[in-house]
Chain A
Amino acid sequence: MLARVEGEGALELSIKDGKIEKLHLRIFEPPRLFEKLLEGRPYTDVIDIVARICGICPVAYQMSAAHAIDSIFGVNVNPWVRTMRRLMYCGEWIESHALHIHLLAAPDYFGFENVVAMAKQYPDEVRRGLLLQSLGNRLLRLLGGRSVHPVGVCVGGFYSAPSVDAVKTLLKEFKQALPMAEQLVRWTAAFNLPDDQQLFTSVALCHPHEYPMNEGRIVSSSGLDIAINEYQNYFTETHVPHSTALYSHFNGQPYLVGPLARLNLNLGKLPSGVRQLITESGIAFPSNNMFHSVIARAVEIYYAFVESIRIMEQYTLPAASCMDFSPKAGVGYGCTEAPRGILWHRYELDEKGDVVKATIIPPTSQNQARIEQDLQTSLMSFGLDHGDDELRLRCETVIRNYDPCISCATHFLKLRVDRS
């Protein structure tokens, strides 16, 4: 079952003789059972239902599902559909990353309790975050009709194509905001981030010609290179007693998905202008400092702006916004790069196109084991002799750095320290 993790979590920490005896990130959000809910439903329902799994990254769920069902029906989308799917994904990265950087992560690095407190001293930066997020949402509305749980995506493409005028209007605003996105990279690179080098395995999609969003093979920093339909041969999900979220492992070990993993594995796929900006920022990628995730998010916002502008400049109305197809039975896979990392779907459909079985593995559950591993290392490096409040803040900062859905409650963490 798919166990979602948005909502409240808690950290249970036992320290004995100056060592961590137990560290459990407890997720007690009840399972939402979307996979079971999909069984028996027609393929036409799938994309709108899975969008409801997350209010921040619904497009990722829609795209993974659309690609999986396309593959079952043998749909080969035209270049217009492929490009618009990429454009829509850019919108989601922009809105999700902008929200996380400015509203959730930045207060940690500037020493504020929340974004309201930070806005008193840094109003321009917070305004920039809201503007960037708003532009990402505008892109989602352009193709999806609305920004939360969009309704424009269907199997084989989109229900309709936006007008040339609507695209031109948005293009103008994106060009105006591009310097802000560039400024954001420099801003995050100047954060006083902890220097916390760790060993971890990065996992992401990799496409031969472009920075990955909708397509590619699954690769890792340890040399894995597989087709998406081989995922379950290498990655396992298990239950743990203290969490309703499933824990994922690769070769029995935790691994990282998300912006830092993507950037570490796909640096060469970025346009030269984006790579130049990274060089000028003074941060070297690939990076083993998990706190560089916030910079990776900023880089991806800038890239998504560059890519959106490129696509919108070439926009024309299509002959058809959706491919013709006939439902058929089969098994299909979809794996796309959600803002938080790879989102893997598998569907088995019958001859009418009704769902027989669905499997959805979201990035947050893939990162759960890695978060616990990071906390172990980070806390030892930070020092366990700090007070409970300081430990809690450091733990929160480490966890929020992954942008898991549970980080949505900014001060969610209830820390219970047993110092026996």
Chain B
Amino acid sequence: MYFVCNTFPETQSRPVVKPVAIIGIGSPYGADQTGWRAVEFLKQDHALQILSDNQIKFMNCDRPGLTLLDYVADSDCAILIDAIEGGDRGNVIRVEKNQLLHDSVGFSTHTLGVVEALTLGTQLNVLPQTIELIGIEVGDTSSDYLPEAGTFIQLKHVIYNLIQSYFTSR
């Protein structure tokens, strides 16, 4: 219980101006549900539940395109969770922003994804100060694979660390 109450001690001493946004990205189908399932798991976590609505907000969105910029607009820290095609199934990786962003994206309104939205958001300087993308490798995205509990527990600790770092740095 002590751990649960004191996972984020920094939040007790400093007022939070804008909430941390934890956003699951995906769709209702197959392995692409991974981001949504991850957010549903995190919502049930006691340590994260202790943070008030003003400190943390959870969202799931379905292939948001540029609407992603709206979702992150009210936060200084946004954590995006998305399935990553390929790799070792269940592997949780932290993707650096500069690994994602590039100038040569061919913008398409039907295929406009996270990379394109973040690229444009960076160019327009409308992204939160801290933006993190956590990927969960799912192998073949057309499969019905969904990560097991161990993956989500690993993810939870990654999220803890990111939130603690953010609160500490403020």
Q: How far is the CA of A229 from the CA of B67 in the complex (A)?
A: 37
A120–B123 CB distance below 8 A: yes
| Chain A residues numbered 49-85 whose CB sits less than 8 Å from any CB in chain B | 55-56
CB of A190 within 8 Å of the partner chain: no
Asked, given contacts A130-B69, A147-B67, whether A116 binds B109 with beta carbons under 8 Å apart, the answer is no
Q: Which residues of B contact A119 (CB under 8 A)?
A: 120, 123-124
B110–A55 CB distance below 8 A: yes
**Chain B 81-112 against A: per-residue CB contact (8 Å), 1 yes, 0 no?**
00000000000000000000001111111110
Asked, given contacts A116-B120, A119-B123, A130-B124, whether A409 binds B108 with beta carbons under 8 Å apart, the answer is yes
Contact of A409 among B69, B111, B123 (CB under 8 A): B111
A104–B109 CB distance below 8 A: yes
Contact of A123 among B103, B108, B123 (CB under 8 A): B123
Tally of contact residues, A, Cβ under 8 A: 29
Q: Which residues of B contact A127 (CB under 8 A)?
A: 124, 126
Closest B-chain residue to A147, C-beta based?
B67
A114–B109 CB distance below 8 A: no
Contact of A408 among B66, B69, B108 (CB under 8 A): B108
Q: How far is the CA of A39 from the CA of B90 in the complex (A)?
A: 41
Tally of contact residues, B, Cβ under 8 A: 21
Q: Which residues of A contact B104 (CB under 8 A)?
A: 113
Q: How far is the CA of A123 from the CA of B121 in the complex (A)?
A: 10
Closest A-chain residue to B66, C-beta based?
A130
Name A's interface SS: helix
B103–A409 CB distance below 8 A: no
Q: How far is the CA of A412 from the CA of B107 in the complex (A)?
A: 10
Q: Which residues of A contact B70 (CB under 8 A)?
A: 134, 137
Q: How far is the CA of A103 from the CA of B116 in the complex (A)?
A: 12
| Chain B residues numbered 48-75 whose CB sits less than 8 Å from any CB in chain A | 62-63, 66-67, 69-70
CB distance from A312 to the nearest CB of B (A): 20
Q: How far is the CA of A408 from the CA of B66 in the complex (A)?
A: 13
CB distance from B122 to the nearest CB of A (A): 9
B107–A7 CB distance below 8 A: no
CB distance from B159 to the nearest CB of A (A): 26
A137–B108 CB distance below 8 A: no
CB of A394 within 8 Å of the partner chain: no
Closest A-chain residue to B101, C-beta based?
A116
A408–B109 CB distance below 8 A: yes
A410–B120 CB distance below 8 A: no
CB of B169 within 8 Å of the partner chain: no
Task: Count how many pairs of residues, one from A and one from B, have CB atoms less than 8 Å apart in the complex.
Answer: 66
Closest B-chain residue to A412, C-beta based?
B108
Q: Which residues of B contact A103 (CB under 8 A)?
A: 66, 107, 109
B62–A148 CB distance below 8 A: yes
Q: How far is the CA of A410 from the CA of B109 in the complex (A)?
A: 8
CB distance from A4 to the nearest CB of B (A): 11
Closest B-chain residue to A55, C-beta based?
B110
Q: How far is the CA of A133 from the CA of B73 in the complex (A)?
A: 14
CB distance from A96 to the nearest CB of B (A): 9
Closest B-chain residue to A8, C-beta based?
B108
CB of A126 within 8 Å of the partner chain: yes
Q: How far is the CA of A61 from the CA of B142 in the complex (A)?
A: 28
| Chain A residues numbered 405-420 whose CB sits less than 8 Å from any CB in chain B | 405, 408-412
Contact of B107 among A104, A120, A133, A137 (CB under 8 A): A104
Q: Which residues of B contact A116 (CB under 8 A)?
A: 103, 105, 107, 119-120, 123
Asked, given contacts A409-B111, A410-B106, whether A126 binds B120 with beta carbons under 8 Å apart, the answer is yes
Q: Which residues of A contact B105 (CB under 8 A)?
A: 114, 116
Q: Which residues of B contact A412 (CB under 8 A)?
A: 108
**Chain A 350-372 against B: per-residue CB contact (8 Å), 1 yes, 0 no?**
00000000000000000000000
CB distance from B9 to the nearest CB of A (A): 36
Q: Which residues of A contact B111 (CB under 8 A)?
A: 408-409
Closest A-chain residue to B109, C-beta based?
A408
CB of B129 within 8 Å of the partner chain: no
B110–A408 CB distance below 8 A: yes
CB of B12 within 8 Å of the partner chain: no
**Chain A 373-410 against B: per-residue CB contact (8 Å), 1 yes, 0 no?**
00000000000000000000000000000000100111
CB of B125 within 8 Å of the partner chain: yes
CB of A117 within 8 Å of the partner chain: yes
Q: Which residues of A contact B125 (CB under 8 A)?
A: 123
**Chain B 119-142 against A: per-residue CB contact (8 Å), 1 yes, 0 no?**
110011110000000000000000
If A116-B120, A408-B110 are given as contacts, then 7 extra A-B residue pairs at C-beta distance below 8 Å, sorted by A number, are A7-B110, A99-B66, A123-B123, A126-B123, A127-B124, A130-B69, A134-B67
Which residues does B use to contact A, with CB under 8 Å?
62-63, 66-67, 69-70, 103-111, 119-120, 123-126
The 8 residue pairs across chains A and B that have the minimum distance between CB atoms = A408-B109, A409-B108, A119-B123, A408-B110, A408-B108, A410-B107, A114-B107, A411-B106
Name 25 A/B residue pairs within 8 A (Cβ), A-sorted. A55-B109, A99-B109, A103-B107, A115-B107, A116-B123, A119-B120, A123-B123, A123-B125, A126-B120, A126-B123, A126-B124, A127-B124, A127-B126, A130-B69, A130-B124, A130-B126, A134-B70, A148-B63, A405-B110, A409-B106, A409-B111, A410-B106, A410-B107, A410-B108, A412-B108
